[in-house]
Amino acid sequence: MFNYLRLFTIVAALGAIQCANSIAVPRATCEATYTVVSGDTCDEIAAKYGITAAALEIANPQIDANCDNLFIGEQLCIPGTPVCAAEYTVKSGDICITIANQYGITVAQLESANPEIDPLCDNLRIGEVLCIP
């Protein structure tokens, strides 16, 4: 006999995971959409629109870390390129919150304008130039 309680538990758990993922990943505003064709890569699609592959992946959280799960016909969000009001050069000891506070923006805004920053903001490099939106 089929165990409906077990099925319900699995479905509920998957729903909770999906919900957590959608909360953790900020949604980008799509400037355009792109339909995947055979042979596409994240790097090629990103280059076509003048954005980074990381920005493409952030705007499309269904894309895995290796960008090897694109499928033909898939619609991708193409985020707008950030407009930089200023540039900031990373110094020793900098962390995202202090940089964001210095410019009166949120860490989310800083990360959105600089998709190469990882979610823990522990990959800043001294001398790296950041876009301040």
The residues, ordered by sequence, that sit 6+ positions from 93 with a Cβ below 8 Å of its Cβ are none
Cut 0.85: pTM above it: no
Please indicate, yes or no, whether residues 36 and 49 belong to a single structural domain of this protein. Answer: yes
**What total of structural domains would you count in the chain?**
2
Please indicate, yes or no, whether residues 97 and 119 belong to a single structural domain of this protein. Answer: yes
Q: What pLDDT is attached to residue 34?
A: 95
Q: What pLDDT is attached to residue 53?
A: 83
Task: Indicate whether 43 belongs to any domain.
Answer: yes
CATH number at residue 122: 3.10.350.10
Task: Indicate whether 11 belongs to any domain.
Answer: no
Instruction: Give residue-wise pLDDT tens across range 51-91.
Output: 878 788 888 989 998 899 999 999 999 988 777 889 999 99
Q: What pLDDT is attached to residue 84?
A: 83
Cα–Cα distance, 34 to 41 (Å, whole number): 12
Angle (nearest 5°) at CA 81 between 93 and 106: 40
Task: Indicate whether 66 belongs to any domain.
Answer: yes
Task: Decide if 105 contacts 130 (C-beta within 8 A).
Answer: no
First to last CA, the chain: 58
Which of 25-29, 70-74, 77-81, 129-133 is modeled with the greatest confidence?
Answer: 70-74
Q: What are phi and psi of 101, to 5 degrees?
A: -60, -35
Residue 35: which of 65, 64, 78 has the closest Cα? 78
Mean model confidence pLDDT for the chain: 80
- Bridge partners (DSSP) of residue 89 are 129
Task: Indicate whether 57 belongs to any domain.
Answer: yes
Residue 78: which of 45, 44, 33 has the closest Cα? 33
Mean local confidence (pLDDT), 2-30 = 44
Task: Decide if 113 contacts 82 (C-beta within 8 A).
Answer: yes
Give the residue numbers spanning the domain of 35: 27-81
Q: What pLDDT is attached to residue 14?
A: 41
Mean local confidence (pLDDT), 11-24 = 38
Task: Indicate whether 121 belongs to any domain.
Answer: yes
CA 18 from centre of chain? 16
Task: Indicate whether 1 belongs to any domain.
Answer: no
Please indicate, yes or no, whether residues 62 and 41 belong to a single structural domain of this protein. Answer: yes
